[in-house]
Amino acid sequence: KDIAAIIDPGSDLHLVRSSCFVRLGAPPVRPETTKFNGVGVTNRSTLGRFTTNVEIDALTFTLNIDVVPDHFTGHDLILGGELSNLAEIRIRRHQAKLSKLEEIEIKTDIKSEDDNWAQVLCIDVDNNENEKMKKEVSLEHVLHLDIRHQAKC
């Protein structure tokens, strides 16, 4: 069934209004509730969760969607930030265009042809800082020794 949805990359959850859930045929719901806060509201709780395939622009995504009372949101379906882990989302003139990420991109979580992208995600100690500061940065959590050594340099 066709449903009007909005994409909210800041949301940790995918939310569907209970009336829309009923229009979908009320798929089986797991009794998992999640407390959440939203704009102007606090301490809200979902009614349950179901897993379904969602088709957007002829692309299919398997998502866990939480059901909420109608008065919690004015939108039938809110697709949360998890979607950006599964697809590249481009927004232009209030329209979203999705391109599904390849499995390798999903697993590595970062892949870009843009050399500047790595710089945005790279945090390193300034070479002009003193040696003491450089030693304070711990890389013990990096298991691969070659990568740990490269990060220290």
- Higher-pLDDT residue of 46 and 147 is 46
Confidence band of 117 (pLDDT split at 50, 70, 90) = very low
Instruction: Report the relative pairing of strands 5-7 and 77-79 from DSSP bridges.
Output: parallel
Report which residue type is found at 31: P
**In angstroms, how far is the first alpha carbon of the chain from the final one?**
55
Average pLDDT value for the chain: 76
Say yes or no to pLDDT of 106 above 60: no
Instruction: State percent of the chain over pLDDT 70.
Output: 69
Say yes or no to pLDDT of 119 above 50: no
Distance (Å) of CA 18 to CA 91, 137, 141, 148: 28, 49, 44, 49
From CA 9, how far away is CA 78, in angstroms rounded?
10
**CATH label, 5-107, candidates 3.40.50.620, 1.10.10.60, 2.40.70.10, 3.40.50.10260:** 2.40.70.10
Give the tens place of pLDDT for each residue, 130-150: 555 555 666 677 777 777 666
Q: What tokens does 95 get? A: 């329209």
